[in-house]
Amino acid sequence: MSKSVNCAEAIDNMNRKVAWGLLFVGITYFMQAAEKLLEPGALNSALDIASGVGVVLTMGVTLWGIFPVMKLKAGGKLLSKSEPESFMTDAMHTSFKNSWMVTMITTTVALAFQKYIDDWNIETSFYLIVLFGFMTLTASLSFFYLTRNDDVEDLEE
């Protein structure tokens, strides 16, 4: 007997797994940014290994979440346009918006202090890595915050 998966459950599960993937990729990018700041040595080697683990975790959890939905779509069992969006999908969209806003505000503040930041003489790639890591991390944390279980249902009963 195969376990039957509801389309809405599959999409909600995918959103959760994608959020975990975003969390892992954000942490991984911050480790890569730290590598750029540190002198070559044992810590950089450890960060290389940790980054590799982060990439594997990111790919694994994301594919684990996306595969069931792709399977449903390929089988014609998932009609994305005719089904209403779930709370989880709405939370994912909101978390992307929140991440975008926070990242743009952070970028604007960084641009205001550009003269001082330029004096640090750090490669441009460092800032791009930090920016991408920050964006993915804030998207995942926003999603987890929006979908937290705050026991409101228990209070209503």
Contact 83, 8 (CB under 8 A): yes
Q: Check residue 1 and give its pLDDT.
A: 39
Match 């990242």 to its residue by tokens: 103
Q: Check residue 78 and give its pLDDT.
A: 60
Q: What are the distances in angstroms from CA 119 to CA 48, 106, 123, 146?
A: 27, 19, 11, 39
Q: Check residue 10 and give its pLDDT.
A: 79
Q: d(Cα 19, Cα 143) in Å, to the nearest integer? A: 7
Consecutive 10-residue averages of pLDDT for the chain (157 residues): 64 88 93 87 83 88 83 69 71 94 94 90 90 95 88 52
Q: Check residue 94 and give its pLDDT.
A: 94
Q: Which residues contact 54 (CB under 8 A, 6 or more apart)?
A: 24, 25, 27, 28, 31
pTM of the model: 0.80
Q: Check residue 152 and give its pLDDT.
A: 54
- Taking the alpha carbons at both ends of the chain, their separation in whole angstroms is 36
Q: Check residue 44 and give its pLDDT.
A: 77
Please provide the DSSP assignment of 7-61 as one string: HHHHHHHHHHHHHHHHHHHHHHHHHHHHHHHSPSSHHHHHHHHHHHHHHHHHHHH
